[in-house]
Chain A
Amino acid sequence: MKISTIRKIISATGKYIVMIFLLAYMVLPLLWIFSSALRPVPEIFKYVHPLSWKTFIPQEITFDNISDLLFSENSLWPRYIFNTIFIGVVTTIFGTIINALAAYAFARLYLPGKQYLFFIILLTVIIPFEAIALPLYLVINNLGWIDSYQALIIPLLANAFNIFLLRQFFLGIPKELEEAALIDGANQLHVFTRIVVPLSWPALISSGLITLQQSWDMFIWPLIVTNTPKVRVIQIGISNLSGKDVTHWNEIFAAVAISALIPILIFLFFQKYYIENSATSGIKG
């Protein structure tokens, strides 16, 4: 074999080794949690130290942790899961519609003072949510929305980042299609819904996934505006379980495993839209 070929093989192998090592770093914590959730708790801690294959592979598989968490008599977890998914889906659907309409207006429609409106929207990106969480709490309190679904959905519907993203995409669609339809007498809303939207599904889905991720990941906001289990979300549920004096390890492992599994499955299903959306947002700068 030629030396250059040997060199290539060595370099490719070396690369694979590094990649696998890094993959282990990224993924092992999750695999450990998943396998631990299926083990009796004493077994988990028995095999953590010293390190062996038994640390990761269950000796005895049990679904008790999960069933105790979800199906035990007064378990609030099915409620938490429902709340989180419900809030996520509603926010995503309505949020995407609202953001897309605004994005289209900025991309194509006539608006007096467009630059000023755009600037207002830009400001909301810069202002950290953590800074407005408190006064927002007061607004929500005043509206009587504490412990309600609205409080967790409505403030997050409109999102400047998504508006930018979708505007960028709409600008890239050839104008001729819309212009032709307008000349033929279609009104602007029809042009939007019948021509632009069908062409925009990848961007809309990507934008929707961003909204879904934000809604799912929310912590400080639900922490402040919810007090009772009524509309409590998974993230608060987990936070309540953890803490300095932890005794319900079985619940924690099961809760964390389920909470991690749901977004992972969604991600694996919608993979190509995640990759595309981050890509476009980075390039435009």
Chain B
Amino acid sequence: MRRLIFLLPLLLFVAHNATAQFVTSGAISYERKVNLPRQYDDEVPEWMKRNMPKVQATSFALAFTEAKSSYMPDKENNQASGQWLAPGQDNSVYQDYRGKTITASKQVYEQRFIIRDSARRLTWRILKEERTIAGYQCRKAVTRICDSVYVVAFYAYDIPVSGGPEQFGGLPGMILELAVPRLYATWVATKVESKALGDGDIKPVSGKGKTVNRTQMMREISGSAAAKGKMGIKALWWNSL
């Protein structure tokens, strides 16, 4: 009898969970936090660094279905924060998961690039650590970009869409937290909204710019003054995201 009583709630629990809902479309709000003074190293005098906001937060919105996603700045939630702007403030990315292609828009100094390329293939290591982000159980994974720049991601088991902030993806679930320690930057999902979205709700990257692929863009940047110095290296990393 005791055993039966014990089993009863368990059965209810099971019955409930066998119909558990995975989130296959919806909207995610990310808060990107960047340590501003750390972006500048020696190029900017110490007193100037002291005067800038230490952390700059920017909101990005990701709308996704199983087929595609769009990642763009959440302009309504972003406060213009004066003269010091962290890189990549208005990056937007459109990912097509079926066609495995990416369209991204980046402003690099005076030039806007429209990058059209295939989805990036990164080798991820899956680590044991788990973390709850915006109410979702997430698993830690790490990878490297630009040979040596570590990227840490936490992906949600319950969102079976292989996307995430910027051009990241390729994990078994949606990336809800991303950290690039060498850029002193983190992206953390503050809200995940499960809602039905049609393909029409996901807007492709808009605006005019120079259409390139990733390699072409990196070539253009690394050949310019933008890539000079320690700041230049960071600029390359930023633009590889």
The judgment on whether A and B are partners is: no
Residues of B within 8 A of A (CB): none
Residues of A within 8 A of B (CB): none
